[in-house]
Amino acid sequence: MRPLLLASFALAALPLVAGETQPPPPAPVDSPLVAAAKASAAKKRKATIVITNDNLSKSGGHITTTASQSPLPPLPPPPNEAQLIAEKARKEAEAKGAAERAAAEQKAKEQQTAKAGQVIEAQEGAMTLFDDPATAEHLAEEAAKAKDAAAKKPPM
């Protein structure tokens, strides 16, 4: 059994002793498009420059300073109490006017809606809008005209 074991070790070690190694696998070959892309990318790359104090001193970087600095303009004076009271009163008046305008617009819309409802009832009687499409369209156009006429404001 010993000679058989020695013979198997000798056969296994023979390629190592002979110095035969397998050649490295060949590098994959790029396709023509990949090769062209790599070549064009290499041309576009530029060397990056890191700005340091040494680079600036060598390249003659310019630093400018002034002999004197002009003073800043003065701050506006703080508002006095009379100005604050007047501003508050103005804002309150604007808010009150806006609320009155909104209420007037709401009232006008309600009146317009009520008027449109009366027109529909007077013209159709017991008939609904869905009974006659032509009548419904006519009433809708009249309501839109009335709304446009009410929405026009006189120029200020």
Q: Is 90 inside a domain boundary?
A: yes
Q: Is 156 inside a domain boundary?
A: no
**Total domain count, the chain:** 1
Q: Is 71 inside a domain boundary?
A: no
For the chain, first and last CA: distance in Å?
Answer: 121
Whole-structure pTM value: 0.28
Confidence of residue 64 (pLDDT cuts 50, 70, 90): low
Q: Is 106 inside a domain boundary?
A: yes
Domain encompassing residue 129: 81-151
Q: Is 86 inside a domain boundary?
A: yes
Q: Is 114 inside a domain boundary?
A: yes
Q: Is 93 inside a domain boundary?
A: yes
pLDDT of residue 42: 66
Read off the pLDDT of residues 2-19 as tens digits, 9 standing for 90 and up.
777 777 777 777 666 666
C-alpha 18/C-alpha 7 separation (Å) is 16
CB 115 within 8 A of CB 146: yes
Q: Is 43 inside a domain boundary?
A: no
The torsion region of residue 25 among left (phi > 0), alpha (psi -120 to 50) and beta comes to: beta
Q: Let me know if 64 is exposed, middle or buried by CB neighbors in 10 A (0-12, 13-18, 19+).
A: exposed
CB 30 within 8 A of CB 38: yes
Average pLDDT over residues 39-63: 72
Average pLDDT over residues 121-136: 64
